[in-house]
Structure 1
Amino acid sequence: MMTDGVSSAMGRELPLRGAVNARDLGGLRTVDGRQVRRLRVFRSDLLTALDAGDVSFLLTDCGLRTIVDLRAPGEIVTDGTGAVVDAVAVYRNLHVYGADRVRLDLTEVSPDGSMFERYCEYLAHSSENIAAVLRLLAVEGQLPALIHCAAGKDRTGVVIALLLAVAGVRADDIIADYAATTPNIAALRARGGRPADAVDRLPAWVFAAEATTMRQFLTHLDVEHGGPAEWASRAGLDRATQRRLADNLLCD
């Protein structure tokens, strides 16, 4: 397990050389005063550049057991998965997508000024897969788990927001965790593996992780779907499974 000194020094950020947007959800607070346990669920960008030291850290220091990959199968063929996938007990590919079913940062997008509409598309088109992620994490013995996509911002951001909301984490903490990607955006844009001209054509808001966007998404979840628990129930995650999920994630 991670030592207190290492945990204190790094905060929630994971000290990985091969990823630029990786962090622990531990410490986020619920509305009833509990917290997400340390070293239970991590979020990250692409894992293909992790080196041997990174893999050892995740397996030995963090006890990583499960990886959930939210990318499209075509992305996995093109970009790969990374050595850590071969070392964990469980690997699941559960693609989260909008109306076009393809990766946002390599497509033309409508310049509406935020990612909010895209996130609503995830609810409309990927609710079954998102519910499958939450169901997996509610199973005893599946944690610690790492959830990732390409940048760890949009698909991962929505799945993590729903995971935390269903578990009862405060909206302000969910929003702050989403916005914690902001200092990493320059590194995400600079990272290789994507055509530079395709990236440069996209408006800056595509890469943003604005708190207002996540706040708008959570409001949409409440107003249009009756809140996170009701959304999850409609997506196929019954209340008993939701309670097991919260028990897996939280401590007093």
Structure 2
Amino acid sequence: MPPTRPPYPAELAISVKTNYCRDDMLGVKNFRDVGNSLNQILGSEIFKSSVLYRSGALDEISTRDNLLQLKTIVNLRREKDPDFRNIRLLQVAPLDTMNNYIFESEIFKEWIQRLYNTLADETIWPSLLHCTSGKDRTGVGIALLLKNIGISDDMIVKEYMLGDYGNRYPESMTHLLGEMPKFEHLKMKESQIHTLKRVLLQK
């Protein structure tokens, strides 16, 4: 079956991408400041900028200048990252394949809880989350993070569409978000939500 037509105009993704998807600067797939991207989508300064970044693998990075403000890189792959001076490297990879992101699998439950515990540590911010292409594990992790702190499904899907993949398959993210309420382990603890709202959202 061919992919369904994106529910949002492609012009939106192009407009935001021009300003905030800076893979041309870094040589890294799907690099962007999530807060800046969401602020432009919303037309309002709701999120803090320069706090949460996302991307694909950093192996071919062309310049490290834009990483200087980071405290931590959270690697969702099993492969190691290159070393970056004065940046903490954390690896939060699944112990095995993710079984196509079947939420009820024990592998997924264990992985998402480790990720939530990592993100709720205030000492890691500002941070970059990445996997290989910046769309699968990173897409799931960012989407669940945003959903837990109260961001609407509509906004999460629009942010996902900014990558070089999302405009083709927005229905996959819509399905993921629709499934989330069915699984208690996808919900963060109240203390984690409180911490992440303080870290990521404007007062």
Match of residue 196 from structure 1 = none
- What secondary structure does 2:192 align onto? helix
Residue in structure 2 matching 1:70, options 65, 76, 89? 76
- Structure 2, gaps ≥5 residues long: 1-15
- Structure 1, gaps ≥5 residues long: 1-7, 104-116, 186-206
Whole-Å Cα distance in 2 between the matches of residues 21 and 211 of structure 1?
A: 16
Are 2:179 and 1:220 aligned? yes
Query: Within 5 A, what are the aligned runs for 1:191-210?
Result: 210=169
Are 2:201 and 1:250 aligned? yes
Query: Within 5 A, what are the aligned runs for 1:102-113?
Result: 102=97
Structure 2 letter corresponding to 1:68: V
Moved over 4 A (4+): 121-124
**8 Å CA contact 2:103, 2:109 repeated in 1:** no
Instruction: Please report how far the alpha carbon of residue 34 of structure 1 lies from its aligned counterpart in structure 2 after TM superposition.
Output: 7.3
TM-score, normalised to structure 2, is 0.77
Match of residue 46 from structure 2 = 35
Corresponding pairs, count: 183
Change (3 A) 1:45 1:88: farther
Match of residue 14 from structure 1 = 22
Instruction: Please report how far the alpha carbon of residue 176 of structure 1 lies from its aligned counterpart in structure 2 after TM superposition.
Output: 1.1
**8 Å CA contact 1:135, 1:245 repeated in 2:** no
Query: Within 5 A, what are the aligned runs for 1:32-181?
Result: 35-51=46-62, 54-59=63-68, 63-72=69-78, 76=79, 80-82=80-82, 85-96=83-94, 101-102=96-97, 118-121=100-103, 124-181=106-163
The alignment yields a C-alpha RMSD, in angstroms, of 2.9
Q: Which has the higher helix share?
A: 1
- What secondary structure does 1:220 align onto? helix
Structure 1, residues 67-122: CA drift from partner, whole Å, max 9, x if none? 111112xxx1xxx522xx3324321111137xxx248xxxxxxxxxxxxx823358
